[in-house]
Amino acid sequence: MRDIKDFYNKTASEWANNGYEDESLHPYLQEFLSYLPKNPRILDLCCGAGYESMRMHKLGAIVTGLDFSEESIKIAKEHNPNLTFVVDDMLNDFSYLGKFAGCAVIAGLVHIPSNKLALVFDNIYKVLYDEGVLFIVVKDGIGKSQRLSYQKIEDEDYDREFYFHTLDELKDSSRGKFHFIKELIYEKDSFWKYYLFQKCHESR
């Protein structure tokens, strides 16, 4: 069975075709950026094909996108030659990218099991300035979704490892390094949950 990286390399063009046309996240991105200084430096973690990176750039942000799918990053660079995109995994230390005022993880955490969430929060903590803002989009719930994880494409089976996460789980996994700001709600009964967190000051 092929894994999550194979899945997104295989479907990168499809995600790009849909994502560059879908403006539904615009109000959420606007509110996220309203918490940041003018022209903030933002890390789009698990940026996929770069469509939300593009939208944040249009809203005035200086965006760096990171994703482990080479095909997705290739498409992101083609669509956004003026932005920075790197191939890497959010479970790795990406502090070499420098410091950011904000970080967006739009659906990226749905591919992270509960026991690895703390590592992702630690990695994000390293790259945010004190009081930097973290925008998280997840599907509310507990555990791995069999229906959303296992996909078949051209007679090949893929496990894209799709996990649900509760707000309490996210708070616990941040281990006091972030405090919860608010939930953003622009759609009634949305499939997704949209949360803002803020980095706590680093101890001196």
Structure tokens at 3: 């894994």
Q: What is the DSSP string of 138-166?
A: E--SSEE-HHHHEEEETTEEEE---EE--
Binned at pLDDT 50, 70 and 90, residue 204 comes out as very low
Name the pLDDT band for 84 (thresholds 50, 70, 90). very high
Report the phi/psi class of residue 64: left, alpha or beta, with left for phi > 0 and alpha for psi in -120 to 50. beta
For the chain, what is the mean pLDDT? 96
The torsion of the CA quartet 70, 98, 81, 45, rounded to 10 degrees, works out to 50
What share of the chain in percent tops pLDDT 90?
95
Across 44-53, 110-119, 131-140, 182-191, least confident range = 182-191
Locate 76 and state its tokens: 């992101």
From CA 191, how far away is CA 185, in angstroms rounded?
11
Q: pTM for the complete prediction? A: 0.95
Residues 134-168 pLDDT 10s: 999 999 999 999 999 999 999 999 999 999 999 99
Cβ–Cβ < 8 Å for 2, 159: yes
Is 59 in a helix, a strand, or coil?
coil
CA 138 to chain CA centroid, Å, is 9
Query: What amino acid occupies position 136?
Result: I
CB 127 within 8 A of CB 100: yes
